[in-house]
Structure 1
Amino acid sequence: MSAARVEVHETAIDGLLIVDLPRPGDNRGWFKENWQRAKATAAGLPDFVPVQNNISFNGTRGTTRGIHAEPWAKYVSVATGSIFGAWVDLRRGPGFGTVVTHEITPSTAVFVPRGVGNAFQTLEDATAYTYLVTDHWSADAQSAYSFVNLADPELAIEWPIDLAHAELSEKDRNHPLLADVEPLPPAPILVIGAGGQLGSALTRELTERNLPFTAHTRSELDLARPCGWPEGIRSGEGLRRYRAVINAAAHTAVDAAETPEGRTEAWAANATGVSALTAACQRAGIPLAHVSTDYVFDGQLPLGEYYKPDAAPAPVSVYGQSKAAGECAVTTWSKHYLVRTSWVIGTGHNFVATMAKLADNGVDPSVVSDQHGRLTSAADLAAGLIHLIDNEAEFGTYHLTGSGEPTTWAEIARLTFEELGHDPQRVTPVSTEEYTAGKTGIAPRPSNSCLDISALEATGFTPRDSAAVVREALERRAQD
């Protein structure tokens, strides 16, 4: 072991990490940095946010505690003495039931992720066992605990001191065998803006994947009015039990945002509310996935080129300006997924549904042909957001739109007509200037909304192309 640096070692349990800690000493004793954030994270420990420090003093050798899996992560070490530590993965998944054991001295620490059962047996008298945890203990939290029997033959833990002669509680002696333990699901995800087309897609996706979540509609949590949020969310204390927050709420009335009243609402939801949500997530130490838009760009990039995630925003509409301000707030918290998208098609009213209705009613529309981009399925956007969280992708900015070649609104309209068996030539392409002639209160639109999605694809997720999104929207319309 190096005498100068922290060393982190992986184990057979995913996320359970053994940590070697430098412990210099002399004739007076020794000293160690038990938790030093910069050194620990540089060595490979998660950048967790502990909120409570607990110490368990054990008077005699053979004191045995556990096996308890709790709804928070913990960082375990000993101040004096030594222990035999045992950990069992009680999380849902292929690792369920995996066992790791290790002796812990003052030169060693262990990072125990949420859902991994933790137990120890003291090897010396007067052993002080200490641990940092990522949430405050409460009586309500005990409903999310899981336990397994220390003596379960299936676990085959070789306790240094026979459990028949060890000091342990009756409760620990009577915990269930592994065969009777229900695997723990992952921590829930909090969805804000559940009533919109993206929020609805998120709740469907999470339900289909059997992933725990809590969802708030605008009537339950209005992003634009933080003073009315539940205290636990506003302070961040109630967020600690979540795996992540997904913000699917926004003021998206692009033209209305150009009015005095709409400008106020857009900035309240897209900037002020997002800033308050980011601060709450930072206080809780949990990731925030936030959805933004191509409107943060001016759309003047030459056709054939794509906006990269690190491109500088240059919004030209009030909506785009408010969303760009929200982005600035989100990026102040290191644990963020800032996901820009464009041309989203979900359930209910959308462009494809409108074109389909016009086609069926014999209306021959004029549609803009000089705005370029790619359709995005709300279902794909939802799946991509969950993918980033579930796979613990690197934090940062991503673009998530449909894949394939860029298109125009007029081409999407013609494809819709064609898919329904109508003559696509009934759609007349027009310029934005022609389409908006004589109309007032129209916000400027980007002429190039093409976003580079290669960073997202590098994480293992590729959305469908525009044609597939059109077909999905028409199939859904036929079922409604």
Structure 2
Amino acid sequence: MAAAQLNVTTTDIPGLLLLELPVHGDPRGWFKENWQREKMVAAGLPDFGPVQNNISFNAAVGTTRGIHAEPWDKYISVANGRIFGAWVDLRSGEHFGAMATAEITPGQAVFVPRGVGNSFQTLKADTVYTYLVNEHWSADAQSLYTFLNLADPTVAVPWPIPLEKSILSDKDRQHPFLDDVTPMESAPVIILGAAGQLGRALVAHCEREAVPYRAYTRGEWDLAAPDTWPVEDIQGARGVINAAAYTHVDAAETPEGRAAAWAANATGVAALARLCAADGVPLAHVSTDYVFDGTLPVGLEYHAEAPLSPVGVYGQSKAAGELAVRTLPRHWIVRTSWVIGEGPNFVATMKRLAEQGVNPSVVDDQHGRLTFTPDLARVLIDLVIRDKPSGTYHVTSSGPSATWFDIAQWVFEGTGHDPARVTSVTTEDYLRDKPGQAARPTNSKLDLTRLNDAGLAVGDMRQQLTDWLSV
């Protein structure tokens, strides 16, 4: 038996993928790698994290099952025999009602995304139909299904064996026709830390791009108090974006702040990772340049796999949270720096001082790039809904780095004030009369190669700042 090459092709239904599988045979029989995560993800399948394998044995030709749209993804293949498969998009949107069909033997497989109705008809006796799913089946989950009648005249599936001559269950005969089907809504993205600068930008992005979401403030989902979480809300989610954290860098150096930082940034994140793992939900976790000590020569940048080397409590707790997130098969750690959004931040402060006639002294020996929350929100949402490869990504504006002194001058200039009013000062001199301050990284420059390779590049920092100030 000649073995085909692994090949993935798209269909008229977004996300529904057909696969050709290499099947190796000899006089004894045949062998195939039915699911091989590394190869199939590289070929274009999403890394969907299956948790359950089901097998359906069908003794007679003409056995017909479906059309069922379930609240999870499916990977379908045949171990013996042959089927005619039919899939109908039952998700809300422009492709509602779209159909795709194919004959499936042991040399083919199909990836069926959540909300696409799945059905098949056996074309050989003793057909063994097998499928992987990325949620555990339960009786309660059936209330979340969407169904379509196998004989629906609008979709008009071209069954090889007429349905009146097929074997159907009474339940499948009673499913509604397309005009009476309530479309399945897309799985929501869970946003934690919704009241913060980044959280507000995430919500705004979801609303602008019509991405279903559920957002939680600290009062509704406190990372430091896992016993209070509404854990049932995470089931069936498209992904979790953790934009919540303890971020008081200086206060974290106090006894009370140290405990609070570790509770939210480490212990709480570890509990969140366990919850996501148990429910098969991917996690996008926001981290920071403070996981590095910042001593890298200024001409260099920290790459995504650089060893962690935090100095202060804040960075140490965030590094610990990263290690917990890495245990998840499907995760994205997103490190960022110098975040600017709606609310109190460095750019807003410099703009206010310029308008008030204050001439500030700003440090000139810390180097990095700004990150604007709309850009960071867009990347986080894209990582989740486009199911980008798991791993660590650095997200900042692009272009040459700058110091806080440079940026302060740009803000003064960009708001019509004399940039010479800003005076430079070293970090040591700036902190001389300010006891209890945490150490700041001298170099916060993050390498953006992985971000750019993923097609998620962010614009030039100077231009981004100009645009921000013009709004």
- TM-score (structure 2 length as normaliser): 0.87
Q: Does the alignment pair 1:226 with 2:226?
A: yes
Q: How does 1:329-408 map to 2 (within 5 A)?
A: 329-408=324-403
Cα distance in 1 between the residues matched to 2:50 and 2:353: 57
Task: Please tell me the residue identity of whatever aligns with 2:454.
Answer: T
Task: Give the superposition deviation at 1:40.
Answer: 7.6
Distance 1:294 1:42, change over 3 A: closer
**1:160 is aligned to 2:155:** no
Fraction of identical pairs, as percent: 56
* Counterpart contact for 1:6–1:40, Cα < 8 Å: no
Query: Any conservation in 2 of the 1:54–1:131 contact (CA below 8 Å)?
Result: yes
Residue type of the alignment partner of 1:404:
G
- 1:125/1:308 CA distance change after superposition, 3 Å: closer
- Partner letter of residue 403 of structure 2? T
Partner of 2:74: 74
Task: Encode CA deviations 1:424-476: one digit per residue, 9 max, x unaligned.
Answer: 21111111111111211101111111112122122222223333443455455
Q: Structure 1 residues 70 and 426 mapped into 2: Cα distance closer, same or farther (>3 Å)? A: same
In the TM superposition, what are the counterparts of 1:85-96 in structure 2 within 5 Å?
85-91=85-91
1:150–1:430 Cα change, 3 Å? same
Offset at residue 137 of structure 1 (A)? 4.1
> What residue number does 1:316 align with?
311
SS of equivalent to 1:67: strand
1:65 equivalent to 2:65? Answer yes
List alignment gaps of at least 5 residues for structure 2: none
- 2:18 is matched with 17
- The answer to whether residue 438 in structure 2 is matched with residue 438 in structure 1 is no
State whether residues 148 and 176 of structure 1, in contact with CA within 8 Å, keep that contact through their aligned partners in structure 2.
yes
Does the CA contact (< 8 Å) of 2:51 and 2:280 recur in 1? no
**How far apart are the structure 2 equivalents of 1:209 and 1:69?**
24
Alignment-derived partner of residue 242 in structure 1: 237
From 255, 262, 273, give the equivalent of 1:260: 255
SS of structure 2 residue aligned to 1:254: coil
Deviation at 1:247, TM superposition (A): 0.9
Separation (CA, whole Å) in 1 of partners of 2:260 and 2:343: 23
Contact 1:375 1:465 in 2 (8 A): no
CA distance in 2, matches of 1:25, 1:2: 9
Which amino acid counterpart does residue 99 of structure 1 have in structure 2? M
- Cα deviation for residue 282 of structure 1 reads 2.3
Which amino acid counterpart does residue 117 of structure 1 have in structure 2?
Answer: G
User: For the residues of structure 2 that align with 1:462 and 1:82, how far apart are their CA atoms?
Assistant: 45
Conserved? CA contact 1:353–1:474, under 8 Å: no
For 1:11 and 1:455, the matched residues in 2 are separated by 26
Partner amino acid, structure 2, of 1:406 = S
Distance 1:43 1:307 in 2: 26
Separation (CA, whole Å) in 2 of partners of 1:201 and 1:439: 33
1:146-205 CA deviation, whole Å, 9 max, x = no partner?
A: 334434455443212212343445764565655776654432111111121111111111
Is the deviation greater in 87-96 or in 155-164? Answer: 87-96
Residue 277 in structure 1 maps to residue 272 in structure 2: yes
Deviation at 1:344, TM superposition (A): 0.2
Number of aligned residue pairs: 468
CA contact (8 A) 2:135 2:280 kept: no
Q: Specify the alignment match of 1:235 in structure 2.
A: none
Helix, strand or coil at the partner of 1:326:
helix
SS in 2 for 1:354: helix
TM-score by length of 1: 0.85
What is the 5 A alignment of 1:46-57?
Answer: 47-54=47-54
Q: Aligned ranges for residues 211-222 of structure 1 at < 5 Å? A: 211-222=211-222
SS of the equivalent of 2:121 reads strand
Alignment correspondent of 1:150: 150
Task: Tell me if structure 2 keeps the 8 A contact 1:189–1:214.
Answer: yes
Alignment correspondent of 1:116: 116
Deviations 1:116-154 (A, max 9, x none): 211122345666655443224456645643334434455
Partners of 1:68 and 1:37 in 2: CA distance: 26
| Cα RMSD, aligned residues only | 3.2
CA displacement, residues 256-312 of structure 1 (integer Å, 9 cap, x when unaligned): 011111111111211121122222222333321111111111222222322211222
Moved more, 220-229 or 200-209: 220-229
8 Å contact from structure 1 (residues 7, 43) kept in 2: no
Q: Please give the per-residue CA displacement for 1:303-351, whole angstroms capped at 9, x wherever unaligned.
A: 2322211222222211111111222222222322111100001111111
Aligned-partner SS, 2:438 = coil
1:207 maps onto 2:207 in alignment? yes
Question: Helix, strand or coil for the counterpart of 1:215?
Answer: strand
For the Cα contact (< 8 Å) 1:374–1:465, is it kept in 2?
no
State how far apart, in whole Å, the 2-side matches of 1:210 and 1:36 are: 33
CA distance in 2, matches of 1:431, 1:61: 81
Residue identity matched to 1:340: R
Structure 1: stretches of 5+ with no match in the other structure: 233-237
Q: Contact 1:346 / 1:473 at 8 angstroms: preserved in 2?
A: no
